[in-house]
Amino acid sequence: MTSRYRYFWRRFMHINFNYKLVPHIKLNKTQQNGTLPCTVGFSVLTLLGFEKKMNAEDELILTIKHCILFVQRGEFDKAEQLLHVALKQAQQISHQLGVTYIYDVMANLALEREQYDKAKRLFIAVTQRIMADGATEDDLRVIHISVKLARISHMMKEYSTAQLGFEWCIDKLNNAYKKDPSEDNTKLLAMAEDWYGRLFLDNNKTEIAYQYMKKAYERMKDLVDIDQEHLIIQLNDLGTVCDLLGKADESIEYYSNAIDLGKKFPDMHDLGAMYVNLGRAYIKKNMLDIARKSCGQAWKLGVTTKNNDVKREAELCIQEIRGMS
């Protein structure tokens, strides 16, 4: 997976305070300026081999590269406008693979902007185009898009449809993984499992959610080409799920690991939130001295990073500890 497609991985992921966790967590603007958000794991278009079939100097590829750059910068309106220019260019030269590529980028941009109906229509169009070109339902490109469509169904609260979609995808991906446990197959399977777990979380089936989310993390953590900040978010969210399950020790372990890894990133905007989560976990264990230190560190980070949410939550945490002392 090339760096250009990394923004396709962490969409809907964000460090939250533990009692506010929801399965469709949004990435904040600060993170968008650093390691970029992403909606879909690796892009289906790396599998299409688009760039291998196009000249690097071609006007169309240059236009598309500018589109991707705008998306990475969070300049979505500019990206949208330029994508329509690129689409017109591709249609004028009858470059069908280019048209498919642009539809896919448009679909991911729509998903990034939470325009779910539009994203759904575009992903279906991409699927139809690659299947017309010979792909079958077992093709990883088709399965990949199907995972996204299941996620969109979840976001649209079409839970039964989402569950059927995820089950179909995960069954197909498990078969593919057994035949070829490549890094790309592992990432796509882990993404499907993580999102499926969040569907269960949204339906108050927390134990099942934990099993899928944990399985996804275990697959991801040993991969070479993996975004470490994504792992931090996974660890934090696993801590939150354990907190919901009343597994205080496991929760503390996940939060602590997330913080240890997060310290390696000076611009990690949400480190303060993780400290609050850890402090609250220690409160439940009645380990008030350690809880006070954790919430105090969160407060300092809230002040230095000018994150008023973290500062406020840290102050509430400290007040709670004072009331218990």
Distance, CA of 208 to chain centre: 19
Q: Is the pLDDT of residue 10 over 70?
A: no
Structure tokens at 51: 């760039």
Domain CATH number, residue 288: 1.25.40.10
* pLDDT in the model for residue 36: 28
Tally of structural domains, the chain: 1
Residue 308 lies in domain = 229-325
Question: How far is it, in rounded angstroms, from Cα 282 to Cα 92?
Answer: 62
Distances (CA, A) of 148 to 40, 112, 171, 253: 7, 12, 15, 31
In a domain, 265, yes or no: yes
* pLDDT in the model for residue 222: 86
* pLDDT in the model for residue 72: 83
In a domain, 163, yes or no: no
Q: Give 142's contacts (C-beta < 8 A, 6+ positions apart).
A: 127, 130, 131, 135, 136
Q: Model confidence over 63-85: pLDDT tens digits?
A: 888 998 898 888 999 999 999 99
In a domain, 12, yes or no: no
Distances (CA, A) of 105 to 72, 300, 318: 12, 40, 45
Q: What element of type H or E holds 16?
A: none
- Stretch among 32-41, 109-118, 126-135, 276-285 having the lowest mean pLDDT: 32-41
Q: Is the pLDDT of residue 149 over 90?
A: yes
In a domain, 272, yes or no: yes
Q: Give 185's contacts (C-beta < 8 A, 6+ positions apart).
A: 140, 173, 176, 177
In a domain, 20, yes or no: no
Q: Is the pLDDT of residue 27 over 70?
A: no
In a domain, 297, yes or no: yes
Give yes or no for a contact between 99 and 87, defined as CB atoms under 8 angstroms apart.
yes
Give yes or no for a contact between 219 and 256, defined as CB atoms under 8 angstroms apart.
no
Q: Is the pLDDT of residue 11 over 70?
A: no
In a domain, 28, yes or no: no
Q: Is the pLDDT of residue 54 over 80?
A: no
In a domain, 248, yes or no: yes
What is the pLDDT averaged over residues 119-130?
96
What is the pLDDT averaged over residues 109-132?
95
* pLDDT in the model for residue 65: 86
Q: Which residue has the higher pLDDT, 169 or 3?
A: 169
